[in-house]
Amino acid sequence: MGIGTGIALFVIGAILAFAVNVDLGGVVNLSLIGYILMAAGVVVFIISLVMVFRRRQSVATTRSAVDPASGEQVTRSTRESDGPLV
């Protein structure tokens, strides 16, 4: 479930809530189902955004030392990521 799924749920819910005027004999309220789908879409969208931004965190480390043989300063940089970039 990703950002697209959240948007799709929201759009389908909005269509059911605002555009469909079908009476099913009081068994099913399509407007209520539409509102529930819209709320689920918002929740999925927010969770997906949090997960995307959480994966993009990275840590950069720089270490400096002096080489005892030559007396030159040596710098080594590394970069670590919490997860795959999307």
Q: Which of 41-45, 71-75, 82-86 has the lowest mean pLDDT?
A: 82-86
Task: Quote the domain boundaries for residue 69.
Answer: 3-81
Q: What are phi and psi of 70, to 5 degrees?
A: -105, -20
Beta bridge partners of 62: 77
Residue 41 near residue 7, CB atoms below 8 Å: yes
pLDDT at 76 over 80: no
Q: What is the pTM of this model?
A: 0.62
Structure tokens, 73: 């300063």
In a domain, 62, yes or no: yes
In a domain, 86, yes or no: no
In a domain, 42, yes or no: yes
In a domain, 47, yes or no: yes
8-66 pLDDT, tens digit each: 999 999 999 999 988 877 788 889 999 999 999 999 999 999 988 886 666 777 777 87
Decide: helix, strand or coil at residue 6: helix
Work out how many domains the chain is built from and give that number: 1
Angstrom distance (rounded) from CA 26 to CA 24 = 6
Whole-number pLDDT of residue 81? 60
Whole-number pLDDT of residue 4? 93
